């Protein structure tokens, strides 16, 4: 969907802005110059850089404070390091205490992986043993 481009990016030579939603779902901004040169970035980054009229350092990312990737309000966006963003996402993983069907050992397993691994094992070794069961 074509949208009006910000003054900040007009000064950089861009004249068109297209916004689309990818499969994650996240909004993606595609900027185009008159010579057909294009640049793509997250829509959150586009909004943040347009609002504050600044560029983001290479090691930094725009983060959604409330965790909703479709909530692109300026007050919900913050700049954090890539390293911290990865750590922040790991903290939110909900883990379940499971019992291995092969050895009986208890282990932690990410809840979000249960849909693809309904009866997981504690390790690759046990999983390999289980793969030969009939």
| pLDDT, tens only, 60-118 | 999 998 888 899 999 999 999 998 888 876 666 788 899 999 899 999 998 888 888 88
Largest CA distance in the chain: 66
Give the C-alpha separation, 127 to 111, whole Å: 18
Query: How much is the pTM?
Result: 0.67
Fold of domain 2-91: Homing Intron 3 (I-Ppo) Encoded Endonuclease; Chain A (3.90.75)
Q: Do the Cβ atoms of 14 and 33 come closer than 8 Å? A: yes
* Average pLDDT, integer, range 35-54: 96
* pLDDT score for 10: 95
Q: How many other β-carbons are positioned within 10 Å of the β-carbon of residue 44?
A: 25
Q: Where in the sequence of the chain do the CATH 3.90.75.20 domains occur?
A: 2-91
């Amino acid at each position: 969907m074509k949208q009006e481009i910000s003054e900040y990016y007009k000064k950089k030579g861009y004249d068109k802005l297209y916004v689309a939603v990818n499969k994650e779902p996240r909004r993606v901004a595609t900027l185009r110059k008159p010579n057909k040169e294009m640049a793509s970035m997250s829509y959150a980054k586009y909004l943040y850089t347009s609002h504050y009229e600044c560029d983001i350092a290479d090691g930094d990312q725009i983060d959604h404070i409330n965790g909703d990737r479709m909530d692109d309000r300026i007050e919900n966006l913050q700049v954090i390091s890539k390293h911290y963003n990865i750590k922040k996402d790991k903290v939110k993983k909900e883990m379940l205490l499971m019992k291995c069907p092969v050895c009986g050992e208890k282990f932690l397993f990410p809840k979000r992986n249960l849909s693809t691994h309904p009866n997981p094992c504690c390790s690759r070794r046990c999983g390999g043993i289980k793969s030969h069961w009939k």
